[in-house]
Amino acid sequence: MTLQAPRGTQDILPDRTPRWQFVEARFRDVLSRYGYAEIRTPMFEHTELFQRGVGTSTDIVQKEMYTFQDRKGRSLTLRPEGTAAVARAVVEHKLLAVSPVLKLWYLGPMFRYERPQAGRYRQHSQVGAELLGVESPAGDFEMIALLVDLLEAVGLCETRVLLNSVGDATCRPGYTETLRVYLRAHVSELCPDCVRRTEENPLRVLDCKVPGCREVATGIPRIQEHLCPPCRAHQDELRGLLDRAGIPFQMADHLVRGLDYYTRTVFEIEHGGLGAQSAVGGGGRYDRLIEDVGGPATPGVGFSSGVERILLALEAEGAALPGAFTPEIMLVTIGEGDERREAMRLARRLRRRFRVDLDLRGRGLAAQMKAADRAGARIAVLIGEGELASGEWTVKTLATGTQERVPDRELETRLGTILEQP
């Protein structure tokens, strides 16, 4: 048997990890400027957390979770999403007693057993942010603006914001019953899952990707016509904030997201280069979640975005992304004794400031120079018997072939000057 990575997972190889590091670094920069603090939760939780927090009628809980029993028979689940875990941590550590408004973010792997597709893996990486303690549409606006700014920071251009409301405890029950009546009249056209969803949670039908169900969904009554006055006012104020900030958006009547904890605002950001599965991120308001996992009634709003899908969208746009490690300077030894030992010492010294590589296999001068060219180094520092005796290094600019002798005390300064040149 040939061992391979499990289906739906991937190895991020060295030629691609710089792309991930680039995206993650931009995330951290923008999130810090917004004042969000990083939180890291375990990769597995008690299964009940996701049943209570995400919702037993969701596909995530019913079909997609990696659930197992530990040696004492406790049911544990690899986290399928980040918000419920953050909510649990907030409640457990009483973070709301420290500050009535919390601004948190996370980055890490999530696990869902679903059919692998382009940019969708059974183990995938998500960045997410949560804003707790803000009930007004200002919180919804901040989440949308933050996600837009994150995507712009990594270089994505071809995106659009989709916006909807799923109502609240006042108006959603009436809409849900209207929706159920409509779906019952079309039950013969629905897939078995949506027949069940019709009774358990009709909003989930809007998430179904089966063609027949999507056709039925085109005629579903619009939730916008059933919003109560507070939900309508909340949405109208949010739309005004987005307009004033110059963030374009489109209303999307069938947008509901895949989680039961959402109330009022839901949103997604799509990218035109990803085909049918076009979302690169999304989120919404969840004013009951903290209470559902045992905490005090606390408004919340957040989003998550998949790193794999962001990278796929960047590649679709032809964005220039960093590649594998490229040394700026290659140390080249002429000789096999003290020269090689001095190269090891000098490499450590220069690496405090520059990207430096050297031959560790004892190859000859010609092979080392070829390696420097292949690696894309800009400078070769030659270390031979003459250099050791004189205390001056031979510095060769590889693009021009010019060489110069540089005193040891001036080496870093001269290397920096050369590298600053275009």
The rounded mean pLDDT for the chain is 92
In angstroms, rounded to a whole number, what is the distance separating the alpha carbons of residues 157 and 107?
22
Residues with Cβ within 8 Å of 205's Cβ and at least 6 positions away in sequence, in order, are 179, 183, 190, 194, 197, 198, 213, 216, 217, 220
pLDDT reported for residue 240? 97
Q: How confident is the model over 210-230, as pLDDT tens digits? A: 888 888 888 888 889 899 999
pLDDT reported for residue 273? 66
In angstroms, rounded to a whole number, what is the distance separating the alpha carbons of residues 249 and 261?
23
Three-state secondary-structure class, residue 344: helix
Residues 132-152 have a mean pLDDT of 96
Where do the domains of the chain lie?
17-171+227-316, 329-420
Three-state secondary-structure class, residue 264: coil
pLDDT reported for residue 275? 63
pLDDT at 257 over 80: no
Three-state secondary-structure class, residue 363: coil
- The token pair that represents 334 in the structure block: 């002429």
Q: Provide the β-strand partners of residue 331.
A: 358, 381
Residues with Cβ within 8 Å of 167's Cβ and at least 6 positions away in sequence, in order, are 175, 223, 226, 227, 228, 231, 263, 264
Domain 329-420 has CATH 3.40.718.10: no
Please count the CA atoms within 13 angstroms of the CA of 261 that sit on its side-chain side. Answer: 31
In angstroms, rounded to a whole number, what is the distance separating the alpha carbons of residues 94 and 88?
10
pLDDT at 258 over 80: no
CATH topology of domain 17-171+227-316: BirA Bifunctional Protein; domain 2 (3.30.930)
pLDDT at 246 over 90: yes
